[in-house]
Amino acid sequence: MEEFLRDEKYYGVFDYDDELTPGSELKIGHTVVQDYYDNQIDLAPFIGLGAESLSKAREQSVEAEKMIFSKIRDSIREWERQAAITKTYDRALEYLTTHAVTHTSNQWVHEDYYDRDSISNMVYEMSVSVWEETKYDRTKQESVPVAWYVTWDLDIRSPKHGHCVEIAGQRRKRYTDKAAAEKYIEGRKKAFAHYFKEISPPIPQEYAEYFKVNGVLLPGYTVEGQESEISTKTAAEIINEIKGGDSISNTKKPSVLKKLAEGKTDKPAPSKGANKKEEQSL
């Protein structure tokens, strides 16, 4: 931690990395020192006041410090509310700057870079790759294939970087017959073909969070068994509530049921004559 000494007349101040991280963190650390370098002070005039007068003056100074500290804390709470507003904007911007995934529109394509076949849409991706094992044939004086290793996987494709999930797959399944390996690949493709009938198939509920940013489902997606949520407040209303601080969140309105219960208990019970009158009117 770096320390910065600021010289004032009769005292010095160490600043401990005062720092603001907008929407996140506020750091303030100050230490007051005297008799440090050029900050020598003549205490004789104070000593001459006597212990009792000095003690009273000190108590008054401490009270003044406490009042200033209280104002600082109020200012910090004001910053907290403003930082919450900044963070709200940051989280909304994070949602808007999360880009949709690229995909193959449910068509199988060959990727030269990875040497694999793949198919994808906005939710799923399946890829298949084959590694060919060869050995040198002295008779033919060339390398010949002796085995084929098949690797495939089916993934959930989250638009959020680094949030993909494998839901099925096989690593390096070995075949000594190429035709058998190809038959196995075709069988895997058919087995999972139902994942690739829509550009944006409904997302299973257990994977819904992978398609949300800060709790909000990204555009173009739906979740199985869930309807789209409709906002009931405007951005301005939410900002005003944040500016209101703790007073809004801590204020509880009495429930309607409680009011009715109180009304029933406060109201005197009707007399027998009143009961008969009500029965006759019915």
- Predicted confidence (pLDDT) per residue in 93-117, tens digit: 999 999 989 999 999 999 998 899 9
| pLDDT over 70 at 2, yes or no | no
Residue 169 within any structural domain of the chain: yes
pLDDT band at 264 (very low <50, low <70, confident <90, very high): very low
pLDDT band at 36 (very low <50, low <70, confident <90, very high): low
> What predicted TM-score, i.e. pTM, was given to this entire model?
0.71
pLDDT band at 262 (very low <50, low <70, confident <90, very high): low
Whether 145 and 207 share a structural domain: yes
Looking at 217, 246, 267, the residue that finishes a domain is 217
Looking at 96, 120, 153, the residue that finishes a domain is 96
Q: Which residues of 192-230 are buried (b: 16+ CB within 10 A; e: fewer)?
A: eeebbeeeebebeeebbebbbbeeebbeebbbeeeeeee
Looking at 197, 217, 237, the residue that finishes a domain is 217
> Which of 16-20, 77-81, 176-180 shows the lowest per-residue confidence on average (mean pLDDT)?
16-20
| pLDDT over 60 at 165, yes or no | yes
Residue 245: which of 87, 101, 27, 79 has the closest Cα? 79
Whether 86 and 115 share a structural domain: no
Whether 90 and 46 share a structural domain: yes
Whether 125 and 186 share a structural domain: yes
Give pLDDT, residue 174: 96
User: What 3-state class would DSSP assign to 61?
Assistant: helix
Residue 203: which of 161, 168, 162, 165 has the closest Cα? 165
Residue 168: beta bridge partners? 154
Domain of 207 in residue numbering reads as 109-217
Q: What average pLDDT does the chain have?
A: 85
Residue 52 within any structural domain of the chain: yes
Who contacts 58 (Cβ-Cβ below 8 Å, separation ≥6)?
Answer: none
Percent pLDDT > 90 in the chain is: 64
Residue 124 within any structural domain of the chain: yes
Residue 200 within any structural domain of the chain: yes
Vertex 53, ends 50 and 57: CA angle to 5°? 130
Give pLDDT, residue 139: 85
pLDDT tens digits, one per residue of 189-231: 999 999 999 999 999 999 999 999 999 999 999 999 988 878 8
pLDDT band at 258 (very low <50, low <70, confident <90, very high): very low
Domain count, the chain: 2
Whether 92 and 115 share a structural domain: no
pLDDT tens digits, one per residue of 138-162: 888 888 999 999 999 999 999 987 7
Residue 88 within any structural domain of the chain: yes
